[in-house]
Structure 1
Amino acid sequence: MRLACAPIVGNVFEANGEPLRGATLLIKGTHQVYVTDSEGKFQFTDPVYEGQILTIGAAGYVSREIPLADCSLPRLVLAKEPTARIKQTGKRAGQVVRLNNRSTNLK
């Protein structure tokens, strides 16, 4: 059943409460892919249906799947991968510099 709530607007956060920019949101079974902006915000412009699965992921973070049941979304928080090291400052802030104890060769 189609949910009559488009557009759906939301935010994705890191575990520490900071907005997560560049997170990817995909509605399974479709080609609807969205990316969060610099404030962690996204907006679904296409219709969504009850029972669809929303997959949220970002480099260096553990992915989540959320079933869509109504027009409200829970607080979307992604936890860091235990072995990931993400650059916090500078020109490359937000980029993964170490994952699974291997360097990503970013300096």
Structure 2
Amino acid sequence: MSFHLSAVDIRLDDGHILRARLGNGEGEQVDAEFDLNTVIGNNDGNFEWGGSDFSGSAEEISFSLEGDDSVPILRANLRDVEGNLQHRDLNLSERITNENGNFAYTE
């Protein structure tokens, strides 16, 4: 299940640390964190799942819950191979899930 469906107080710290209180399946909300730099990279100015350290080549990183379904969107300006900034966004619910109160990455 996508993490945002069972989470409260979702936020992004330091441009790459996803934090929230996640439901653990027992009716409790527990503190959880996940370093997005371990699973998201920058491939020529585009977010890349399975990569790493996107924030090292990004500017103006932001996070928001958008639309009626509060979809978790990561936004940043990413440098391409020529050094130009490309404005990109990524739906974190595509691959980040909640497994019993812990963030998990699914491929």
Tell me the TM-score range normalised by the shorter chain.
Answer: under 0.3
Largest Rg, 1 or 2: 1
**TM-score, normalisation: structure 2:** 0.27
**Higher strand share goes to which structure?**
2
**Higher helix share goes to which structure?**
2
